[in-house]
Amino acid sequence: MKKAIQLLGMFSIILFVSCSGSDGFDGRDGVDGRDGLDGEVIVGETYEIDNIDFSASSNVVRFTFPQEIVNGDAVLVYRLEEIVDDLDVWEPLPTATIFFDGGGYLQYRFNYTIGDVDIIVESDDLTLADDEFMLNQIFRIIVVPSDLISSIDTSDINFVMAELGLDKNNIQTIDTNIQN
């Protein structure tokens, strides 16, 4: 009987140890199905698109992903609103509506598929928008695995990137020189 209890105890210990592990994402463990090559963990992609010029006649810019994203992953888009004391101020899209002094409004928004993202500037009259809202715009696009999106504060681009283990070295810069 004593040996049976000892064997049962050993079996329980082996079972407990083999089943232990991280219950959540801590930045070191891979997300199921998202492990990269050579042990590298892929948890998100970040793209920066520079030199976007919108115009009254063309208010949409399309960015095509280098490879399709996983169906169900979330896409976040941020616009570089300004630089204050050498610090970037990123605003998540859709932006708050900007109202012009002389009347009219402007707003940036986006939509996406697994293959691309459309960044859209909307207004009741785009001819009223100053160049600061239309020319040389910079956007960041972050692809977030769907199982992580509900646990991330998406209003802060720095928090999102930190949670995904991304830094400036992970940003793929796309200089489009798109003029619409």
pLDDT for 31 beyond 50? no
Q: Who's near 154: CB < 8 A, 6+ residues apart?
A: 76, 92, 144, 160
Amino acid identity for residue 82 in this structure: E
Residue 110's φ and ψ, nearest 5 degrees, are -150, 160
pLDDT confidence bin for 146, thresholds 50/70/90: confident
Query: Which H helix or E strand runs over 47?
Result: strand 45-52
Average pLDDT of the chain is 78
pLDDT for 37 beyond 80? no
User: What is the reported pLDDT for 139?
Assistant: 96
* CA–CA–CA angle 174, 179, 180 (5° rounding): 120
User: What is the reported pLDDT for 175?
Assistant: 64
User: What is the reported pLDDT for 92?
Assistant: 96
> To which residue do tokens 């939509």 refer?
111
pLDDT digits (tens, 9 = 90+) for 125-144: 998 888 999 999 999 999 99
pLDDT for 103 beyond 80? yes
pLDDT for 39 beyond 60? no
| Model pTM score | 0.72
Instruction: Please give the share of the chain, as a percent, with pLDDT higher than 90.
Output: 46
26 or 168: which carries more pLDDT confidence? 168
pLDDT digits (tens, 9 = 90+) for 68-96: 888 889 999 999 999 999 999 999 999 98
Distance from C-alpha of 27 to C-alpha of 143, rounded to nearest angstrom = 16
Distance from C-alpha of 43 to C-alpha of 69, rounded to nearest angstrom = 11
pLDDT digits (tens, 9 = 90+) for 8-30: 444 444 433 344 444 443 343 43
138, with CB counted inside 10 A (0-12, 13-18, 19+), is middle
Distance from C-alpha of 108 to C-alpha of 52, rounded to nearest angstrom = 13
